[in-house]
Structure 1
Amino acid sequence: MSYDFDLFVIGAGSGGIATARRAAEYGAKVGIAEYDRLGGTCVNRGCVPKKLMVYAAHFPHVFEEAKGYGWSEVKSSLNWDTMITAVNDEVTRLNGIYQRMLDNSKVELFHGHASFVASHTIAIGEQQITADKILIAVGGKPHRPNILGIEHAIVSDDIFNLKEQPKKLVILGGGYIGCEFACILNGLGTEVIQIIRGDKILRGFDDDIRTEIQQGMINHGIQLYTDAQLIAIEKTDNGVAISVGKGDTAETVYADAVSLAAVGRKPNLHNLGLENTGVKLHDGAIAVDQYSHTAENHIFALGDCTNNINLTPVAINEGRAFADTVFGGKSRFMTYENIPTAVFTSPEAATVGLTEAEAREQYGDSIKVYRSKFRPMYYTLAGKDEKTLMKLIVDEKTDKVLGAHMVGDHAAEIIQGVAIALKMGATKANFDATVGIHPSSAEEFVTMR
């Protein structure tokens, strides 16, 4: 049978675009559909604009810390509109780059919502397109919990479009998205209250990281309601009233403008027409094998819609592995061990490998943990009691480093390098034999005894 395309990709986020371009390099005729802006969550509503706002939130601290180094006091205020406009202008610039990348790769872009009408046929508006192979890369979307008045809450995507800075903000959720936005808005001068169901933020991360970041956030002025739940949200003349339950008691918290719901994301499968295919779901996500195959042999899926490891670089790697295998004759698949990740809170954190709890579960009593906690040199003259935590988890039987964790300035930049060592199977002896760069925080990773 003759098809319009060798490969058609639904979703032009980072994973979908990377896959389309790689397949086209191998000579495949490729089409891609996107109903929103190019680049997906990362470029438009996630990594990029969020990190730019992280930078913006750091300046007040730098102004204050500079006085310890002899600089005169700085009186400065934030122009929210200028910042948001600059952030969104950069996003628009990146959209243009993605468009040029697709054009240069001769990937045909279709603007509109794509859905299956048959296993080889995609409808985009009134147009129907056939493809030999189809890749689903539609990403995820924010989850809105079933709470009375939730329609009065914004989700994480909306924060980049606020016309005015909220003076007081309530954040629901203790995952990395909620924690990052709590720190961003707090750094920009908003009064922040964060509500979490458990006793600690960042479930799934190493416990030392969770404890250190949580205390750091509290020290920086974020009000944290632990072991609590949001009962209802009510619109008022002056903003919103949030009913918060804790045990058998409840109290009302008022915010001047909005309440940010940041309680996770779900695969974005609405109106995709999967019922017209043999694709199967597992826990609300598309089920795939290690080669990104779905239950229908010619349909593939990757990225956040499979709810595996929801990170942009993972989706990109999955996509390139798929293209190499299917169109390049180079069979390979994505491996998920020792994937580094960062949390851009204040303080910042980054991690690679096993948490201490995971290591003890897998390796038992052979685990040895090395920790170092100190005040970085930068803060001595600044007169601040900011701490950095570094942690290595080692299997004493093999001396292999199983996990590396850090809380502190530049954690992401430092752990990226450490991740290479773990990926190569480095031992504690390899770390010990490495000469440190002095004076730096990073040298602690090779001097811990």
Structure 2
Amino acid sequence: MSKPYDLIVIGSGTAAQVAIARVHARGWRIAVIDHRPFGGTCALRGCDPKKMLVSGEEAVDAAHRMHSHGISGALRIEWPALMAFKQSFTDPIPARQAKHYADLGVDAFQGLARFTAPDRIAVNECVLVGRNILIATGASPVPLGIAGEDLVSTSDDFLEAKSLPRRIVLIGGGYIAAEFSHLAARAGSQVTILQRGTRLLPPFDGDVVGWLMPSFDALGITVHTGVTADSIKLITNGLTVTATSPGGTQIAVTAEMVVHAAGRAPDLAALDLAAGDVAVDEGRLKLTPGLQSVSNPRVYAAGDAARSGPPLTPVSSHDARVVTANMLDDANARPDYNGVPSVAFTVPPIAAVGLSEAEARAKERHFKINAASVPNWFTARRLNEAIYGYKVLVEKDSDLILGAHLVGPGADEVINLFALAIRNGLTAKALRNTMFAYPTAASDIGYMLD
């Protein structure tokens, strides 16, 4: 027996929630399907719970920096209590989301979804017929392709760990590796990072990352770059990870937990896309500029499943608005990813928006660079923070801000002001002439543009 819907949403995260709210306002019949607890990655297994754990890290770090500067006594992270604080946010979400669906009259299904025809989705014993179908399944870790891969923990496992082991290895060098290494080291673990690339945090400016790296050294984090993990073996007292450099040098690291931090890809494997006539190319959906399947026009995608823009939560929301505009009004809407800020929540954080220096040169833009490491500025000095720096690219002819790259206290908030400027075409002069509250991190913007 089948049941018709105006929209079937596969996934229940940010993109799904925005899409459901918008089409519900038009009176559409809606079904939502998720094989995991309702709420999605950001709320349950990503941004929000991670940031709650980082709150404990920030408190300990602040006390450490201000020790002998008016603050005495030692603080430490009690991991189980910090985890309970995180769960006070995450645990109620699935039930609350399910109730929200019920209140809206949205049919919610818990189970794996798969196409059985271009307009049909099977879940459990039901077959749903969709006039429109939105794939919003998020992303999952890419296969490492090494022996012993089944011994690797995911970022989900780390964020649910009841206790942290004495030794942790992170395979990869992006957001997850940087953020989790800082958190685990401040919680008392001995941390090693194995990164294939030549440096950590490749999406961020190399100079700005260089200013951040002393924080890894200060925390006792061992960073191996230019190495490829080869295998993971179970031993008596834990796990041994072997890795090899391009020159053939091998290293072996022993730990109780090995965490996958080597990237994620659209989570599409269970959907049987071929049965739905949904075209895929090298693991990615083939989409029109309006995020519609090129082969099955009733199917759309948003967020990490679409992988059209940066893999960030605000992009998921934006994609959902684009998709629903096209569904509801045949609007020919297109996503606009100009000026999307990105932050790695190390302590202190590192942030970026707009073009990198290399990208600006590749586009043959004519620009000036304002850049400096400035731990002597008041914003850093008042916190006794040794890491603070900026690199801002300003186009010479237009005075537009092409890119901003920050590290240090307040970088995660100040980057939003640069994003506002880039997305809305504000000039450097306009920002310099803005009177920001003083003394705040934002009040440094004028000096960054002088």
TM over 0.5: yes
Contact 2:77 2:186 in 1 (8 A): no
**Aligned AA (1:345):** T
TM-score by length of 2: 0.93
**Aligned AA (1:59):** A
Alignment of 1:47-446 (within 5 A): 47-74=47-74, 76-246=75-245, 247-255=247-255, 257-295=256-294, 296-308=296-308, 309-328=310-329, 332-364=333-365, 366-375=366-375, 376-377=377-378, 380=381, 384=384, 386-446=386-446
Could you tell me the percent identity over the aligned residues? 27
Q: CA distance change for structure 1 residues 340 and 83 in 2, over 3 Å: closer, same or farther?
A: same
Mapped partners of 1:87, 1:98: distance in 2: 18
Mapped partners of 2:107, 2:88: distance in 1: 25
**Aligned AA (2:116):** V
Mapped partners of 1:237, 1:5: distance in 2: 54
Mapped partners of 1:105, 1:208: distance in 2: 50
Cα deviation, residue 80, structure 1: 2.1
TM-score by length of 1: 0.93
**Aligned AA (1:443):** S
Cα deviation, residue 381, structure 1: 6.3
**Aligned AA (1:411):** A
What CA deviation, in whole Å up to 9, does each residue of 1:191-243 have, x standing for no partner?
Answer: 11111122211113222222222333223321111111222211111111121
Mapped partners of 2:110, 2:407: distance in 1: 42
Q: CA distance change for structure 1 residues 422 and 379 in 2, over 3 Å: closer, same or farther?
A: closer
Cα deviation, residue 386, structure 1: 1.2
SS of corresponding position for 2:368: strand
Contact 1:217 1:346 in 2 (8 A): no
Cα deviation, residue 323, structure 1: 1.5
Contact 1:233 1:243 in 2 (8 A): yes
Cα deviation, residue 362, structure 1: 0.8
Q: CA distance change for structure 1 residues 371 and 217 in 2, over 3 Å: closer, same or farther?
A: same
Contact 1:68 1:381 in 2 (8 A): no
**Aligned AA (2:262):** V
Structure 1 gap ranges (5+): none
Mapped partners of 2:138, 2:208: distance in 1: 28
Cα deviation, residue 437, structure 1: 3.3
Contact 1:33 1:110 in 2 (8 A): yes
Deviates more, 1:81-90 or 1:43-52: 81-90
